[in-house]
DNA sequence: ATTGAAATATGTTCGTA
DNA sequence: TACGAACATATTTCAAT
């Protein structure tokens, strides 16, 4: 279990730093420094503080999957047999690269996934061949994202 | 509408570059260059090609919302009245910072959202005060993520 | 597509306030 | 916390292959 500092205090300068880097992880520190009016060394030190607190958990290049032909996003609710260990099912889901998110959830479904496929045929294969074949999966319910309108992180 | 090049060809070197930067957006180009055994200038040029193709759509610092006390993630299915313009509902959802994702979907729900709140009370406020008050929203169905087990991008 | 070299810009550390 | 100076690295461009 990761230790996390819940007592972190972030001020307006921290927010400006974070907003710049959440927008573009490669924004130069010195550019941010010029923007907020303090030295690069100070920004550097604040970033170290923010990393140490665990608030910054990393950085990523964001890929546009459509360019690779991945145009079908779907959500899948999974019903698991009572006796089955959920972690074992998750372990199997991790092996399916099309599964981008996976949650234990309240409600009817035991597990809820977001998956990304090239097309409906690909989606069908992932459902029938990869997911339905996992031991303990009794039934699934699928709905397709026709268009994603919002995609963002928490507001800082 | 964004123009996207679907004929992009990416080879093993491109994949190594992308994997490194998807893992850590601030990986130095020269470090990648040393890793794959070509010059920094060549990596630089390939990155420009990948950006131009639209495959790379940006970069982000990733924030761990738990550090800020955001511990309750939930999914919300929204039923909209027939007569209501969906884009108008989405426009209102965009104003709610807790809404991280929003999709038009097939199935029973018109709109499907992922939201992130501090706790159940906060979630209840977002549901009752912010979402239910949107014109055209007739009913919602909510389920909570007890634990997210998978979070990743498409495999390159 | 790739290279090396040159010019520019940035990252990082450290002593000091 | 913040600063500036000094040093180490990285980015970017370019002519040549």
CATH classification number, B65-145, choose in 3.10.20.30, 3.40.50.2300, 3.20.20.70, 3.30.70.920: 3.30.70.920
Contact between residue A141 and residue A76 where contact means Cβ atoms under 8 Å apart:
yes
Question: Three-state SS string across chain B, please?
Answer: CCCCCCCCCCCHHHHHHHHHHHHCCCCCHHHHHHHHCCCHHHHHHHHHHHHHHCCEEEEEEEECHHHHCCCEEEEEEEEECCCCCHHHHHHHHHCCCCEEEEEEECCCCCEEEEEEECCHHHHHHHHHHHHCCCCCEEEEEEEEEEEEEEECCCCC
Using CB atoms, pick whichever of B57, B65, B105 lies closest to residue A143: B105
Q: What pLDDT shows up at residue A6?
A: 64
Question: What is the pLDDT, as a whole number, of residue A84?
Answer: 79
Per-domain residue ranges for chain A?
Answer: 3-53, 65-145
Q: What is the pLDDT of residue B87?
A: 95
Q: Determine if strand D comes within 7 Å of the CB of B41.
A: yes
CATH 1.10.10.10 fits A3-53, yes or no: yes
Per the prediction, chain A carries an average pLDDT of 95
pLDDT at res. B3: 52
- Answer whether A56 sits within 8 Å of B62, measured CB to CB: yes
The mean per-residue pLDDT over the stretch A72-85 comes to: 92
Cβ–Cβ below 8 Å for B61 and A25: yes
Predicted pLDDT at B1: 52
pLDDT-derived band at A83 (thresholds 50, 70, 90) equals: confident
pTM for the full predicted model? 0.96
pLDDT, averaged in runs of 10, over chain B (156 residues): 70 98 98 98 98 97 98 98 89 98 98 98 98 96 98 98
Residue A67's nearest CA partner among B22, B24, B51 is B51
Length in residues, chain A: 156
Mutate which of B149, B151, B155 to disrupt the A interface (most A C-beta within 10 Å)?
B149
- pLDDT tens digits for range A14-44: 999 999 999 999 999 999 999 999 999 999 9
Residue with tokens 């919300």: B76
Chain B residues whose beta carbon lies within 8 Å of the beta carbon of residue A102: 148-150
Beta-carbon separation of B149 and A57 below 8 A: no
């Amino acid at each position: 279990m990761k230790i996390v500092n819940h007592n972190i205090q972030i001020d307006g300068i921290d927010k400006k730093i974070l907003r710049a880097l959440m927008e573009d992880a490669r924004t130069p520190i010195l550019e941010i420094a010029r923007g907020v009016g303090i030295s690069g060394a100070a920004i550097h030190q604040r970033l170290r503080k923010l990393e140490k607190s665990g608030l910054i958990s990393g950085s990523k290049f964001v890929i546009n999957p459509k360019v690779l032909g991945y145009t079908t996003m779907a959500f899948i609710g999974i019903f698991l047999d009572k006796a089955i260990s959920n972690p074992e099912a998750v372990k199997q889901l991790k092996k399916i690269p099309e599964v981008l998110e996976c949650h234990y959830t309240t409600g009817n479904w035991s597990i809820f996934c977001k998956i990304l496929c090239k097309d409906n045929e690909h989606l069908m294969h992932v459902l029938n061949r990869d997911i339905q074949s996992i031991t303990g999966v009794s039934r699934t319910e699928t709905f397709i994202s026709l268009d994603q309108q919002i995609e963002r992180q928490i507001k800082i």
